[in-house]
């Protein structure tokens, strides 16, 4: 039996989609392999988390309890999971490529002296339990297949929005283990003074997204107005996030998020490989760029060669703005 564990990341009991997407993919693989899918999570109180995860395809759930797990802290979480991984020796551990998942995976892999494949977009397992992860290389120009032949467990983070969750089915059943983690004399170096929730939209699920590229300079307002007028959410390319003009959470691309939108309108992006890997699953892509040779046009359904600041006032009036 191949033992695959999935980190079921949650925020106050709300499970991250990517965790369930990984579970969905493992269930597809399980149709042709003897695979046991275990979810694991941390917190003070499991609440509904195990039941929700089981209803979406987890067969066995391990909930690690301790007061220190009431907020994410790398040290506490890694100390909490390390012992149980050493004792039970899962073949595979998969985590979502979220901020938390990336952080936890790196530290855990280093502790266990094993490898880590980051940001996988394909996942396959063979009958010997070898995990094959497809990871985009050189800005998405090719997919490198990574296999960890020796060290165990095989650990990988998995990109959001690639795989499908199973539909929720409350008749699914599974085993739940609640484990009280004892830390001995460990005291965390991090103390949370205040928790502030950022009000940032998850644009991976948005139907319409307007993307602000570097060509906009610091003048984001007319594009933001346009997005509001057509009921779209905002995404940005990396230079815009780098300049602190928008939160990193809405950066689109290989080190940002991947969109699944019906409509994407891009203002002033040259279409680097790192950026376009974030829009390749979108249905209709419209791009506006002054440079008719811009690479973004090779990834667009409609190409507008124009200065955005010339056409934006017209567009905004056309959609009812000032
Ligand atoms: C490891 C790594 C990871 C990366 N990850 C990402 C990522 O996740 N996302 C990402 O976006 N980038 C990422 N990058 C950066 C990426 O390589 C590019 O540098 C970046 O995408 C360029 O952003 P841009 O297209 O907005 O800007 P630019 O390349 O500067 O393009 C600006 C475009 O705007 C046009 N323009 C200028 N003025 C106007 C105007 N008035 N009207 C219309 N058009 C105009 C120009 O003709 C040009 O085509 C990554 C890079 C590395 C090395």
Domain with residue 222: its CATH number is 3.40.50.1220
Q: Do residues 89 and 137 share a domain?
A: yes
Total count of domains within the chain: 2
- Could you tell me the distance, in angstroms and rounded to a whole number, from the CA of residue 152 to the centre of ligand 1? 39
Length of the chain: 322
Q: Do residues 248 and 104 share a domain?
A: no
| Residue 186: inside a domain | no
Q: What is the pLDDT of residue 272?
A: 94
CATH number at residue 79: 3.40.50.620
Compute the Cα dihedral for 123, 126, 131, 132 and give only its sign. negative
Helix (H, G, I), strand (E, B) or coil at 170: coil
258 lines ligand 1 (CB under 6 A): no
223 lines ligand 1 (CB under 6 A): no
Positions in the chain whose pLDDT score sits under 70: 139-140
Q: Do residues 148 and 281 share a domain?
A: no
H-only helix segments in 144-190: none
273 lines ligand 1 (CB under 6 A): no
Per the structure, the complete domain to which residue 228 belongs is given by 203-318
Peptide bond just before 320 cis, omega within 30 deg: no
Residue whose C-alpha is closest to residue 5's, from 78, 94, 101:
94
Q: Do residues 10 and 106 share a domain?
A: yes
- Indicate the residue among 165, 180, 195 that finishes a domain: 180
With tokens 């991984």, the residue in question is 85
Could you give the CA distance from residue 60 to residue 304 in angstroms, rounded to a whole number? 52
Residue whose C-alpha is closest to residue 95's, from 161, 5, 167, 30:
5
CA distances from residue 277 to 45, 112, 120, 159, 206 in whole angstroms, order as listed: 38, 31, 13, 12, 17
Q: Do residues 20 and 113 share a domain?
A: yes
| Residue 11: inside a domain | yes
| pLDDT tens track for 254-284 | 888 889 899 999 999 999 988 998 898 899 9
With tokens 């985590």, the residue in question is 95
291 lines ligand 1 (CB under 6 A): yes
| pLDDT tens track for 5-46 | 999 999 889 999 999 999 999 999 999 999 999 999 999 999
User: First vs last Cα of the chain: how many Å apart?
Assistant: 64
Could you give the CA distance from residue 167 to residue 92 in angstroms, rounded to a whole number? 24
Q: What is the pLDDT of residue 315?
A: 96
274 lines ligand 1 (CB under 6 A): yes
Burial of 311 (0-12, 13-18, 19+ CB in 10 A): middle
Atom of ligand 1 nearest to the CA of 295: 49
Q: Do residues 210 and 142 share a domain?
A: no
Q: What is the DSSP string of 27-39?
A: HHHHTTS-EEEEE
Atom of ligand 1 nearest to the CA of 294: 49
- Indicate the residue among 180, 213, 240 that finishes a domain: 180
Q: Do residues 222 and 124 share a domain?
A: no
């Amino acid at each position: 039996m191949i033992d695959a564990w999935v980190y079921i990341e949650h925020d106050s009991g709300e499970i991250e989609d990517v965790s369930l997407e990984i579970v969905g993919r493992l269930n597809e693989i399980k149709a042709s392999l003897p695979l046991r899918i275990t979810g694991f999570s941390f917190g003070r109180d499991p609440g509904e988390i195990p039941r929700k995860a089981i209803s979406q395809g987890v067969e066995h759930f391990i909930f690690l309890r301790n007061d220190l797990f009431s907020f994410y802290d790398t040290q506490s979480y890694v100390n909490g999971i390390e012992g149980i991984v050493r004792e039970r020796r899962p073949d595979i551990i998969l985590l979502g490529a979220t901020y938390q998942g990336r952080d936890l995976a790196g530290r855990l892999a280093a502790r266990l002296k094993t490898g880590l494949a980051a940001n996988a977009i394909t996942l396959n397992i063979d009958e010997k339990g070898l995990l094959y992860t497809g990871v985009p290389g050189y800005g998405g120009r090719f997919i490198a297949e990574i296999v960890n032949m020796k060290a165990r467990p095989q650990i990988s983070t998995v990109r959001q929005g690639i795989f499908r969750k199973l539909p929720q089915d409350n008749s699914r059943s599974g085993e739940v283990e609640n484990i009280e983690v004892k830390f001995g004399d460990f005291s965390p170096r991090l103390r949370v003074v205040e928790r502030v929730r950022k009000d940032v939209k998850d644009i991976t699920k948005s139907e319409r997204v307007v993307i602000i590229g570097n060509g906009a300079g610091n003048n984001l307002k007319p594009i933001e107005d346009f997005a509001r007028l057509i009921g779209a959410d905002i995404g940005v390319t990396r230079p815009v996030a780098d300049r602190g003009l928008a939160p990193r959470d809405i950066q689109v691309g290989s080190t940002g998020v991947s969109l699944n939108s019906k409509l994407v309108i891009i203002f002033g992006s040259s279409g680097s490989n790192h950026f376009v890997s974030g829009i390749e699953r979108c249905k209709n892509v419209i791009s506006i760029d002054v440079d008719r040779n811009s690479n973004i046009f090779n990834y667009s359904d409609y190409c507008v060669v124009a200065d955005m600041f010339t056409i934006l006032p017209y567009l905004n009036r056309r959609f009812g703005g000032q």
